[in-house]
Every structure is written in structure tokens, then in C-alpha cells.
Amino acid sequence: EAQVTQNPRYLITVTGKKLTVTCSQNMNHEYMSWYRQDPGLGLRQIYYSMNVEVTDKGDVPEGYKVSRKEKRNFPLILESPSPNQTSLYFCASSVGTGGGYEQYFGPGTRLTVT
């Protein structure tokens, strides 16, 4: 089944404790992104990647890191989480021109930082 997977789905952590949210897609998509969703603010892009070793900042990159060492994986790293990073996080992927850039989303990771 074609899908984007994220782990963990739920995470409660404390301020300053480094964490990684994994994202993997099995559709051989070139493009991958991370978004966060907050009430009243909608979906905001954190980082994106156009291919292996090619990443760039989205609208709200502060406090986050990403890497793209393999085409299928795009982990999101919070080096020192803070309470304002409590949010619902989504990983997304899309194929390029041939696939019309249809965007597929993962199931989400609900992060709580205390």
C-alpha cells in the first residue's frame, strides 16, 4: 500500500530533551515536507526537501532540523524542544511533474512538550 508513515504517533516529552520524529514514504517520491498544524494558525511548513541531500527552510524552521540521506526517509529533529513546539506534525510527500505534484500526508504525530 502506498503510504507515508510517521513514528511515533504520540509523544510527550520535557523541555530540552532531544527527539526525532521519523517519516518514511514507499512511493519513490522526490519531494518531502514537514508541516505543523495549530488551532487558528492552520498548516505551516517547517522544512522541505527536493531530493536526497537537498533541503530548505519553510515558513517556521526555527528550532527544527531535518536531513535527507535516503530518498524514502525525512526525519524531523528537535534538538532542544520547548513548549511552543507542542503541536500536531505532518510529514508529506509528492511526486514531480509526471504525477501532477499530488501531495500525500502521513497520519500525524501529536507532540506535547512540558
Site residues for other proteins per CB under 8 A? 31, 33, 42-43, 45, 48, 50, 56, 58-59, 88, 90, 96-97, 100-108, 110
Cβ 80 to other proteins shortest distance, Å: 26
Cβ 8 to other proteins shortest distance, Å: 14
Distance CA 3, CA 57 (A): 24
Distance CA 51, CA 32 (A): 8
Cβ 16 to other proteins shortest distance, Å: 26
Listed residue (48, 46, 71) closest to 60, CA to CA: 46
Task: Decide whether 29 or 80 has the Cβ nearer to other proteins.
Answer: 29
C-alpha dihedral sign at 2, 23, 70, 35 = positive
